[in-house]
Structure 1
Amino acid sequence: MSKPPLFSAVSPPDATNSQAKDPWLAVNLSMFFPGLGQWYANKNQKATIWAIAQVILIIVTIWSIFSPNGPVSWGLGGIVALVIVYISNIFDAHWTVYDSRQNNSLEKIPRKQKNPWFAVFANRIMPGLGQLYADKVRLGIIFLTISQISLKMDHFLTNILFLTPLITAIAIYHVYHTFPHQFHPHRHTYRSILALMVGVIFTWGIICNYFPDWFHQKIEFFQIPSESMLPTLAIGDRIFVSQSGNYQAERGDIIAFRTPEKIRQLDPTSGDFFIKRVIAIAGDTIEIRRGKVYLNRQVIQEPHTAELANYEIEFMTVPPKTLFVLGDNRNHSFDSHAWGFLPESYIVGQAYKVYWPLDRVQSLL
């Protein structure tokens, strides 16, 4: 006597209907972007609403957080809203297809009548879970173990950031193609969808893994450690610094720069970076008399300073490819009046926004 199968593959009750839809395929599609699952369910109006809502939230969130004048509190609210919309869209995609089937015997979570698209969904959560769901325990444990090792290696081996997306893609492809399928009118279409899905998951995974490095080449985060830039920047303020190879410092800019060696010689305890305001650029003349700064022989107005300087600097010209920088807290700042001109090659970028704490959010431009 032959043993009964461990489980039965999915066989939609209305498989003879060419319009039969799979709720877990809808879920997988909506995990890529809100609205795709609803579009698959032929609910185009609903799909459009979900997609537009997500696009608007993404734009508002990015603008609020990273633009100089954007309210960061809106951005934080936008992040919460994005998560809510994304998760709600997934549930709605499942329910939209499930409800349209009008089949009380269809399980919302396929336990008895197992579904390959649910296995794909499980593997997108964690490679190996889909194999465990399909009763391929040994392979499931292997995929789980390899994926966990890969995730840990990602933190210190940036040249193998492709490995985790590759493992996920392989696990998804394997679990679907080794799943015992019964006849389904859309089987060829489903295989094409799976192939596209695997390619997108692998590509998107690589983009997500390498995006942080790319982002930090454009924008860097700094925390203010001292009072040298009061009242503009206080201890604990967190700022965005825009990095660009084409950046040319201008008078009045607040810049971040790496610590030159001459500063370390004067103060070995200096940190790796400084934040100061550009007062004069190459070719300018600079002088400080009676607490006032003379730029090109003209007194400059400085509403951002804490107090007048209690030191003087004789008339001098800023050399080529250097800057003269000062802290806004003139008498409590280790800056050009103490160690001289800053070579432009040490500039990291321009500080353009305080993004934290929320009660101090402001543009620095």
Structure 2
Amino acid sequence: MKKQNTTPNGKNGKTQSREWFEALVIAALVAAILRMFVIESYRIPTGSMEKTLLAGDFLFVNKFVYGAKVPFTDISLPKVHDVRRGDIIVFKFPRDRSLNYIKRCIALPGDNLEIRNQQVYINGKGMQLPPHAQFIGTKMPAGVPEFQIFPSMSDYNKDNYGPIHIPRSGDVITLTSATLPLYRDLIAYEGHTVSLVGDQVFLDGQAANRYTVSRNYYFAMGDNRDNSLDSRYWGFLPENDIVGQAMMVYWSWDPDLPLLFDPVEKIASIRWNRIGLAVH
């Protein structure tokens, strides 16, 4: 009679291989679920958050704190708390949702925001500059419009901006030729078509002078105020596009050094003092 090959624990090779395969599948599923709903890794690609975060920092992002999104749906899991002013958040870039951006939340739904001579005011009260925020460019005077500023055709610039109201669910906004640049993207995001014929705004093909906002929006800025593509340039951040809150730096090194061609120099560039750094 043919002898069956067994392992020391008495199981045959096929059974053991199957158990290993099942364990790997389960581990992969658990990792995918954790990445989808709990925590995800994110790499800082640019200097828009310097000196708070550096290009080459690798972060853990807390996805469940704001209520993780169920993929391919508009469903969100229960959240721990709402986004707060000052939170560093990762979100889908509104102009290309295949990209993730990271900025600091400056204003919440319903807030009134204004920047005067680089000082941010929320609801009329001056907001303290984040501890490591910086200005590296030339200050721009009020009334001098900046190229690509939001909304178009305004006289805003990076250092003198607004006043502007951050839309929240239930807000009723007035639609005119003057306000349309401010709300066009928001209305399109909420699933409507909007156009301007002469001085008349048309919503879903019908003349309209009012619109009720159905979602909440935020205003985000980088800590490196003069080198950040943020809400001052692309507008309001929809709540549904927020991925999570930055939590901790788990790795950091110089992103400009190639590991393949100069591994010694790359390893020498590790920023040991940043590993384990809490993000706030």
Q: Kindly tell me: are residues 284 and 334 of structure 1, through their superposed partners in 2, closer, same or farther at Cα, counting changes over 3 Å?
A: same
Displacement of 1:360 in angstroms is 1.1
Q: In structure 2, what is the Cα distance between the partners aligned to 1:359 and 1:333? A: 25
Displacement of 1:355 in angstroms is 0.8
Task: Give the structure-2-normalised TM-score.
Answer: 0.56
Check if 1:118 corresponds to 2:8: yes
Q: 2:236 corresponds to which letter in structure 1?
A: F
Check if 1:227 corresponds to 2:47: yes
Partner of 1:168: 17
State whether residues 228 and 327 of structure 1, in contact with CA within 8 Å, keep that contact through their aligned partners in structure 2.
Answer: yes
Displacement of 1:356 in angstroms is 0.6
Check if 1:346 corresponds to 2:241: yes
Aligned counterparts, 1:251-290, within 5 A: 251-260=85-94, 263-264=95-96, 272-290=99-117
Check if 1:294 corresponds to 2:121: yes
* Aligned positions, number: 177
Partner of 1:108: none
Displacement of 1:207 in angstroms is 2.5
Displacement of 1:215 in angstroms is 1.4
Q: In structure 2, what is the Cα distance between the partners aligned to 1:334 and 1:117? A: 60
Deviation per CA, 1:225-272: give whole Å up to 9, x if none.
100000011111100111122252111111111121xx34xxxxx971
Partner of 1:360: 274
Q: 1:360 corresponds to which letter in structure 2?
A: R
State whether residues 291 and 308 of structure 1, in contact with CA within 8 Å, keep that contact through their aligned partners in structure 2.
Answer: no
Structure 2 spans left out of the alignment, 5+ residues: 68-78, 140-158, 169-215, 253-271
Q: 1:252 corresponds to which letter in structure 2?
A: G
Partner of 1:332: 227
Displacement of 1:291 in angstroms is 1.0
Aligned counterparts, 1:3-152, within 5 A: 116-118=6-8, 130=13
Structure with the higher fraction of residues in helix conformation = 1
Check if 1:210 corresponds to 2:29: yes
Aligned counterparts, 1:172-183, within 5 A: none
Displacement of 1:6 in angstroms is 8.9
Task: Give the structure-1-normalised TM-score.
Answer: 0.44
Q: Kindly tell me: are residues 213 and 315 of structure 1, through their superposed partners in 2, closer, same or farther at Cα, counting changes over 3 Å?
A: same
Partner of 1:56: none
Partner of 1:152: none
Deviation per CA, 1:21-59: give whole Å up to 9, x if none.
xxxxxxxxxxxxxxxxxxxxxxxxxxxxxxxxxxxxxxx
Q: Kindly tell me: are residues 225 and 271 of structure 1, through their superposed partners in 2, closer, same or farther at Cα, counting changes over 3 Å?
A: farther
CA RMSD of aligned residues (A): 2.9
Structure 1 spans left out of the alignment, 5+ residues: 10-114, 124-129, 131-142, 144-165, 170-197, 265-269
Partner of 1:305: 133
Partner of 1:163: none
Q: In structure 1, what is the Cα distance between the partners aligned to 2:6 and 2:90? A: 53
State whether residues 252 and 278 of structure 1, in contact with CA within 8 Å, keep that contact through their aligned partners in structure 2.
Answer: yes
Q: 1:227 corresponds to which letter in structure 2?
A: G
